[in-house]
Chain A
């Protein structure tokens, strides 16, 4: 059941991290409005493989349900495309019109080097988490889960921060390539929970230090990150991170 939309794509092609890239034009015909954006790429890649002239376009994706954070396309100047609160894999062609020209590029940030075409290396995020985005509790140390009641509001707020999928759209959206929204989401989640309290100071200091080491830029409060975040992670998390950071620098005990 293919459809009747024709789409003009301009896609970033780059052989590998060492080579130069450029935008290349492709026409995709018979696109159905029910297709997802990535399914349109499947159709195009299928054709490229069958024709054998050009290599298929490399792009990252896995769950295709908006939860793994793997997909990462910069579409018409916006990470994850035109819709609010939606990842690339959840974007459907009904959000576009027949005859549209769509420019698709990878995330661009010094800390996210391109691997090939639209796929980038985001392992800097893993290293930031490794520097402090956890609670130090070995398996078997835990007490009964209900021995620690947590006010529903705090739990809900921590959950909202924990919804971050680590996609990196916030970095791609930011003119400074800052990772503040990502880092603040994790810092907030753990700062809002009593379990996270003992390591509160070291956590925020270490994570911010690692973020700087990785080469992410500074935050100048433009808010583009939150506007483009597919999980609508709120800017209040950045404010909380700043508070946490200053308090930690002063070495204050907030318990």
Chain B
């Protein structure tokens, strides 16, 4: 059984008590302790900056050309915090409760409570570092609602919340770089971890410009390397997002938690063609004001698909606002997994509205006119506004709220969303699974930590919107600076280990052998060919709906892809130069191995929960059917060799929340 090291005591005081009893490292000792932070997203940048402020010697790595470009930059909608600024009944407990329930009772209580506790500090810290959140006319911070909650606790900066938060954390990081407390290694890719005597002691990184391999020692190593949604090839993640860092750690002893828990986001721009390289999210915040519908009659859907009917002309009573119909209490704001499945259900039943039949409408016309248009008319003292006036007034409000998202939609699709309802379809977005960590965020390898999306910790089987940014910054700003002390307090006498140590030499040789092997295959197919094939299998068999037959087939098919990849991939150029194809090849090789584990995990979990929907486990109404008796645990996979794992379990204990069937009706 895995030890999650949850502190004793009542949930409300666990973290407070932990903080005041955790061993401390004195300032003089901190200066001789070195920490490697891989990743400069919200988790990595906030951790690196904060640890440097505390006095540790920090090295920070990212594969982009600047830390500011980490994938967190792309987050749109917002960040949650239990501030209760809106006086609508929010509290730490409610955020804790919503997160556990949203995660379909598959997250660890103690971690989630801590997350809710520090959420408010994140907003304070971000504002203090200059993050320009949206404000009301009175000068105070503004909030909006996200899915799976009934309060307004989401802070935002138009549709660029991730950008603004990351630039805040990045500026703190750069300040420490300027002060000489952090050494920055951008355009560097970590390709292995180095363990010595059972502890993690460093990494092997490749300088992506020169191609040279480097050895770096650290008393501790933090992986803040993001999620693995790109295993599906098409996802909303940035092109470079990958699993390599986490996967190397996994192969060196770190258990992988709940790999099959992936989040399919309901509101993305549908696929337009084979050339498609990625999918674009339309922020969940749009569900505040956009209503989701398909035609009630199949004939109308068919006519729309053939371009014979304009959706704007379809009468109200002929539209099926299926989320409002099925889930009256939460309506368009049900959690993501529920909304995604409902869209798939309608499209599979023949009600899809684009050429491929895989799209539903997200329509702003109603709220544009009757919510915002009327509000503005009232403010302007116009008692009898015309329909045109209402539209024009509402247009302005919608533009202020979502302007950049509407522009992006138009840019990509060529269709004006102010005039036509948006077309959306679910797409892979986030991975709840990741490296297993204990309460200290330490993996099963001592000294090796995982933060942010790279760990499995806080979101159970489904993450609520605006909670990833919160978790990344919680981990980096407020959790790791304390919990790492528990480990490093015992390391103060450890002198930096020479990188000539045989463990470093061996790890570097392995990395270099693998790169050379990839280059030597000189097969016939580009890397993307394999990535696309893998992605299609994952989407079809391990996506929104899964079943035994499909998963079993997928596993054997992925094994075949792996074999073919290592025989027939073609990677041009050589290892001692800037070589993006070589980078991609290494990442896809890891995705292939991961894909198999995801399917295995999905096959093993004989229940439906959150984002993991097994067709063989559903209620009569088509809702996810959990099996708490047999599956109320974290599946933590231990790597033996490629294609061979041992399953370990961490039992989840609910002492503060009564587990129940999730209901958003």
A-to-B contact residues, CB < 8 Å: 1-2, 15-16, 32, 34-36, 38-39, 42-43, 45-46, 48-50, 52, 55-56, 58, 60-70, 85-86, 90, 92, 94, 115-116, 119, 121-123, 125-126, 129-146, 148-152, 155-156, 158-159, 162-163, 165-166, 189-190, 193, 195-196
Contacts and interface: CB of A to CB of B under 8 A. Distances in A.
Contacts of B121: 140, 142
B164 interface: yes
Nearest to B47: A139
A135 B160 contact: no
B129 A134 contact: yes
B577 A16 contact: yes
Nearest to A161: B132
A46 B528 contact: yes
B423 to A, nearest CB: 13
B520 to A, nearest CB: 14
A46 B526 contact: yes
B43 interface: no
Contact of B73 (A67, A150, A189): A67
B272 to A, nearest CB: 5
30 contacts: A32-B273, A34-B273, A36-B412, A39-B276, A46-B528, A52-B572, A55-B572, A62-B238, A62-B240, A63-B74, A66-B408, A90-B408, A90-B411, A115-B209, A126-B67, A129-B68, A129-B174, A134-B129, A134-B172, A135-B128, A139-B477, A139-B478, A140-B125, A145-B126, A149-B138, A152-B139, A159-B158, A163-B163, A195-B128, A195-B129
Contact of A139 (B46, B157, B174, B273): B46
Contact of B129 (A45, A50, A135): A135
Given A55-B573, A130-B177, A139-B478, A50 B130 contact: no
B66 A125 contact: yes
B139 A130 contact: no
A39 B277 contact: yes
Given A56-B572, A92-B414, A68 B139 contact: no
A189 B577 CA distance: 38
A163 B570 CA distance: 40
Contacts of A166: 66, 68-69
B346 interface: no
B620 to A, nearest CB: 39
Interface residues of B, number: 82
Contacts of B328: none
Most chain-B CB neighbours within 10 Å: which of A43, A61, A142, A144? A142
Given A46-B526, A119-B578, A123-B65, A61 B127 contact: no
B553 interface: no
Interface string B378-414: 0000000000000000000000000000011001101
Given A34-B272, A55-B573, A61-B239, A159 B171 contact: no
Most chain-B CB neighbours within 10 Å: which of A65, A86, A121, A162? A65
What's the dominant secondary structure at chain A's contact region? loop
B138 to A, nearest CB: 7
A42 B275 contact: yes
Contacts of A155: 132-135, 139
B274 A1 contact: yes
B214 interface: no
B409 to A, nearest CB: 11
A189 B572 contact: no
A189 B164 CA distance: 11
B585 to A, nearest CB: 11
Interface in B72-100: 73-74, 83, 85
A51 to B, nearest CB: 10
B125 A139 contact: yes
B139 A144 contact: no
Interface in B642-665: none
B186 interface: yes
Given A156-B135, A162-B132, 5 more contacts: A1-B272, A63-B71, A123-B65, A155-B134, A193-B132
Given A42-B277, A122-B65, A152-B137, A134 B577 contact: no
Contacts of A131: 178
A117 to B, nearest CB: 9
Contacts of B133: 145, 155
B49 interface: yes
B20 interface: no
Contacts of B629: none
A138 B137 CA distance: 29
B140 A146 contact: yes
A15 B572 CA distance: 13
B411 A159 contact: no
A59 to B, nearest CB: 8
Contact of A38 (B277, B526, B573): B277
A139 B71 contact: no
Given A36-B277, A68-B74, A121-B65, A190 B581 contact: no
Contacts of A39: 275-277
A90 B277 CA distance: 12
Contacts of B570: 49-50, 52
B128 A189 contact: no
A145 B127 contact: yes
B137 A16 contact: no
A217 B156 CA distance: 36
B577 A142 contact: no
B576 to A, nearest CB: 10
Nearest to A157: B132
A169 to B, nearest CB: 15
Contact of B130 (A1, A60, A196): A196
A142 B127 contact: yes
A88 B579 CA distance: 21
A99 B241 CA distance: 35
A50 B526 CA distance: 6
